[in-house]
Amino acid sequence: MPSDRTMVILALIALMHIKSLPGAYTMRSLSYFVKNRHLTEPSMGLLEPCRYHSRVWFDDMDLNIHLNNSSYNKMMDYARIDLCTRIFPGWQSRHKFDMLLAQTVLFFKAEVPRFSKYTITTRIFAWDDKWIWLQSRFSIKRKTPRKAIESEQANPTNQNGEPIRDEDVVVEEEDEDDIDPIEAKANKHSAAAVTHDSFLNGSSEMPDKLCAIAYARMVAKHPKGKTIVPEGLFRKMGHVEAYPGQWEEYRTFGLSLIEGMMKIGDPTMDARAPEASLRRLVNQTRAKI
């Protein structure tokens, strides 16, 4: 029998790697289905963002002591499942269809530091007659500039009244990429409206720091393999447009933003047709607004 000291060491190692223990991924994924099993209609709007919060732990870090590449994809899985169980309640148990991932494109902009809290903001970004594109934005809180801290209080707190800790935030100037273009369009303001001076004056809020952005291409299918047209799926699940043409306006705007990012060769394309080897994943005529 191992000694008590050995058992304590093993327990500490297991705690440090609790998110990577055998079965942890499966149990965590199933937890979202269990949590939202009572829903009979969507708990959020089709075009609303779903925010998933997590923290960089020991088994999330690589040799550079920040969030490693594989953890981005694993955490995006959780965020996508959370979103789908909210906007498509009962999509596997009652409605009998699957949401399948076909492609993920990930762009890194800044690191997610060790032990820092981060947020994954996931939303339906665009769709066509077959595919649904989801956008996931990894962001962390910024540290309030020193002048703002001194003018407000000695110990700054977040919206929940909790003290802001150094490991949760990063000191850095704002960047126009930190502004979500969908949110900016909806709120009718641009990145230029959020400036350092306006933040210090209290006229606007400093946006979270964008660390990475990902686009996932998904498809809804019946168990026998038949593809479900996205807009038909949305209406079947109880979603409606806020005004005539809302979905088309939103969809074309999203497609126009990802058009240049999704030019990826299709390995299944016939090698004898070189002109089709670099197939656009976005219909160019639909991407115009």
Dump pLDDT digits (tens) for 9-30: 999 988 888 888 899 999 999 9
Which residues make beta-bridge pairs with 77?
Answer: none
Tokens, residue 241: 């447009």
Q: In the chain, which ranges are E strands?
A: 50-55, 98-108, 117-127, 132-142, 169-170, 209-221
pLDDT-based confidence at residue 200 (cuts at 50, 70, 90): very low
Place of tokens 């990577």: 20
- Which pTM value belongs to this model? 0.74
CB 286 within 8 A of CB 252: yes
* pLDDT above 90: percentage of residues in the chain: 50
pLDDT-based confidence at residue 215 (cuts at 50, 70, 90): very high
* pLDDT above 70: percentage of residues in the chain: 69
pLDDT at 282 over 60: no
pLDDT at 185 over 60: yes
Q: What's the CA gap between 26 and 229, in Å, rounded?
A: 29
> Burial letters for 180-216: b for 16+ Cβ neighbours within 10 Å, e otherwise?
bbbebeeeeeebeebeeeebeeeeeebbbbbbbbbbb
CB 162 within 8 A of CB 117: no
Dump pLDDT digits (tens) for 251-267: 999 888 877 665 544 44
- Closest Cα to residue 18, out of 50, 69, 54? 54
Question: Which pLDDT score, from 0 to 100, does residue 250 have?
Answer: 93
CA angle 195–198–204, rounded 5-degree value: 95
If one counts every other C-beta atom within 10 angstroms of the C-beta of residue 81, the result is 20
pLDDT-based confidence at residue 230 (cuts at 50, 70, 90): very high
- Closest Cα to residue 120, out of 49, 217, 31? 49
Grouping H, G, I as helix, E, B as strand and the rest as coil, residue 34 is helix
pLDDT-based confidence at residue 144 (cuts at 50, 70, 90): low
Question: Which pLDDT score, from 0 to 100, does residue 197 have?
Answer: 44
Q: Locate the domains of the chain by residue range.
A: 9-261
Mean pLDDT in the chain? Answer: 79
Q: State the CATH architecture for 9-261.
A: Roll (3.10)
Dump pLDDT digits (tens) for 58-102: 999 999 999 999 999 999 999 999 999 999 998 888 888 999 999
Q: What's the CA gap between 103 and 221, in Å, rounded?
A: 16
Determine which of 72-76, 81-85, 128-132, 161-165 has the lowest per-residue pLDDT on average. Answer: 161-165
